[in-house]
Amino acid sequence: MSYAVTKSSPVLVKPVSSTPTETIPLSSIDRTATMSVFVEFISMFSHGEQPAKRIKEAFAKALVPYYPVAGRIAEPTPGVPVVDCTGEGIWYVEATANCSLEDVNYLERPLMIPKEEMLPRPPAGVKFEDQILMAQINEFTCGGFAVGICFSHLVFDGQGAAQFLKAVGDMARGLPEPTVKPVWSREAIPDPPKVPFSGPPPSFTAFNFVISVIEISLDSINRNKDKFTTETTQRCSTFDVITAMIFKSRAKAIKLANTAEVWLGFAASTRHLLHGVLPTVEGYYGNCVYPVGITKTSEEINSASLVEVISFIKDAKDALSTKFVDWMNGGSDTHYNVPLDYGTVIISDWSRLGFNEVDYGFGEPKYVFSLNDDVNIVGIVNYLKPPTPKQGIRLTLRCVEEEHSAEFCDELLKF
């Protein structure tokens, strides 16, 4: 049997009451080239009573305090996107599946329903790039449902989008207003002068990355944390341990020349560095991230112990505040120049953004997973919370080609 969902036509969910009509700026961080993408993910819930109706009404209520989300992205000046607060609303799709969640293996990979069927799209003729957020509720025959979300990275980072969806959850559970009061304040973030780009435009190589999913147990994480503390008398985080495992295992598996550079990058939150810059940091839902990059030779990573690689990652994080403040003051850090070659891997940590805490009145999701995994010009690893009640971290790997995949996974599991 083939499994599929049947979608209703998209409808606009408008704010339930009138909202300001204005054009408001995005911040200098929002407008960086890396943010001009749409992020797609699915949250799976095991049960829900009329979830599509309930969540639709909750969106309409949440869009009043979060009225910019009901607007559209516009570009009156080329290269300077803004938000036009039109109050048009978000595109909302209701869909029914011809199967239970069990039939499709609880949406584990490989997906048995194409992701395109579970994600929202605006009607034909409506410009996709202008949308800020869209939602689709997929109901299954077992009474479970899955929420497909597509949001513009120009307007939110992951933590900001989760904050908005938690507000929708607050409304769905009958609260009179969101627990966290939204803050726009994009104009408060400094707009440092642009450093002119020099040199030829980057060249892209399309790689044939394969997708693998691996679980890293809590025991493994804690054992390596303890080893680091024993050897250094310092503490390290779950992120530090897993990122070091990835960096080391991948360098060994891809077998580049000893002198070849391997590069690891991740977006670090800078919310803690914006106290005193923003009127209030709590409630701010714009982009508060800054890229961190670590460059080593293949030999340096291969010959280093896991504890030493964890130290490399901690050092890079420690340098973040200096680099970010320098950037805000107009420093010339060319931090967005990511080497697009096989030696590069980008880490995206979804395990602590807050999407797993969104409760529409039926409890927290059993599983949340991102779907931006069709990038083929740079290797990417996503960190996810595994489906409940499992603990640890689930890795979605899309960063090596077929010939290196088995060894990469084997190396990871040795830790």
Residue 361 CA to residue 280 CA, distance in Å, equals 29
Question: 409 by DSSP, 3-state: which?
Answer: helix
Strands (E), 182-288: 209-216, 261-269
Q: Exactly one of 103, 191, 333, 359 is catalytic; which is it?
A: 359
Sign of CA dihedral 244, 248, 254, 257: positive
Residues 374 and 382 sit within 8 Å (Cβ to Cβ): no
Q: Exactly one of 153, 157, 240, 373 is catalytic; which is it?
A: 153
Q: DSSP secondary-structure letter at 18?
A: -
Q: Which residue, among 69, 286, 63, 324, has the nearest Cα to 186 in the 3D structure?
A: 286
373 is catalytic: no
The two structure tokens encoding residue 410:
């084997």
Q: How far apart are the first and last CA of the chain?
A: 40
153 is catalytic: yes
The edge-to-edge listing of strands for the beta sheet with 22-25 is 22-25, 80-85, 72-77
Give me the residues paired with residue 186 across strands.
none
Strands (E), 31-188: 38-45, 72-77, 80-85, 90-97, 133-139, 145-152
Q: In terms of DSSP H, where are the helices of 106-196?
A: 115-118, 158-172
Question: 297 by DSSP, 3-state: which?
Answer: strand
Residues tagged active-site? 153, 359
